[in-house]
Amino acid sequence: MLAKRIIPCLDIKDGRTVKGVNFVDLRDAGDPVELAEIYSREGADELVFLDISATEQKRKTLADLVYRVAEKVNIPFTVGGGISSVADVDVLLQNGADKVSINSSAVKNPQLINDLSAKFGSQCIVVAIDAKQIGGKWLVHLVGGKIPTKLDLFEWAKEVEERGAGEILFTSMDNDGTKDGFANKALARLSTELNIPIIASGGAGNMQHFADTFIDGKSDAALAASVFHFKEIKINDLKESLQENGIPVRL
């Protein structure tokens, strides 16, 4: 079994790291460059940097912030928010990002996934999917969870894989910020039906939740924000706990 990855997520709004519950009620969580450096030092496997206001405000992710973060870390780094073209990705990768994450723009223009994969390689392309359960179905939402669509999570995930995405970052909006655990039933289905890695996001509250998503959710990686930002869980402690539970991690 491949080593499971622990990924702190830095949601950025107006140059600061923020965290909310169910995608709302945002509060400040610190300077993204400082946090990135700390997580890199503490043993995070990767980082995800999402400018959550970029798509909503129709502005591009700040390339200079990506550059400053990349200067401080020595682990793979994904950046997303407002990315809608090959040119956008080119700038971000040149400024130090290892991967990019696309979400709303992929739904609006699915061909973008094909174009980015062909230009930069599927290993660089993460498609983020935000979804919540409505009427018994997991429906995809856009623009930071603000706009519902009629897209089915599992059908969209399969199309994303077919178009060349290298990974899927699935955030359960129902679980986000609740600290009640990940949406493991949906994650397990995604992991079973797809051949690309699935990153679990939304709901981490304690160390057991990470173990549960790796075992029950069959997730390849687990992403979290507030439990790391507010020092509720230390990454090295988490990895030692996972290893004691027989879950392979990089120490």
The whole domain housing 162 covers 5-244
Tell me the average pLDDT across 56-80: 81
224 domain residue, yes or no: yes
Q: How many domains does the chain have?
A: 1
- Residues identified as active-site: 11, 130
Q: What share of the chain is helix, strand, coil (3-state, %, to 5)?
A: 35, 30, 35
Q: pLDDT for 203-214, tens place per residue?
A: 999 999 999 999
Q: What is the CATH number of the domain that holds 222?
A: 3.20.20.70
156 domain residue, yes or no: yes
- pTM value is 0.93
Say if CB 96 and CB 36 are below 8 A apart.
no
251 domain residue, yes or no: no
Q: At what angle do helices 32-42 and 63-72 cross, to 10 degrees?
A: 30
250 domain residue, yes or no: no
Pick the closest to residue 75 from 36, 102, 101 (CA basis).
36
Place of tokens 């599992």: 154
What is the structure's pLDDT at 23? 52
Q: Categorize the per-residue pLDDT at 60 as very low, low, confident or very high, splitting at 50, 70 and 90.
A: low
Alpha-carbon Rg for the chain in angstroms: 16
216 domain residue, yes or no: yes
30 domain residue, yes or no: yes
Tokens of 189: 């289905």
Q: pLDDT for 214-235, tens place per residue?
A: 999 999 999 998 899 889 999 9
What is the structure's pLDDT at 120? 98
204 domain residue, yes or no: yes
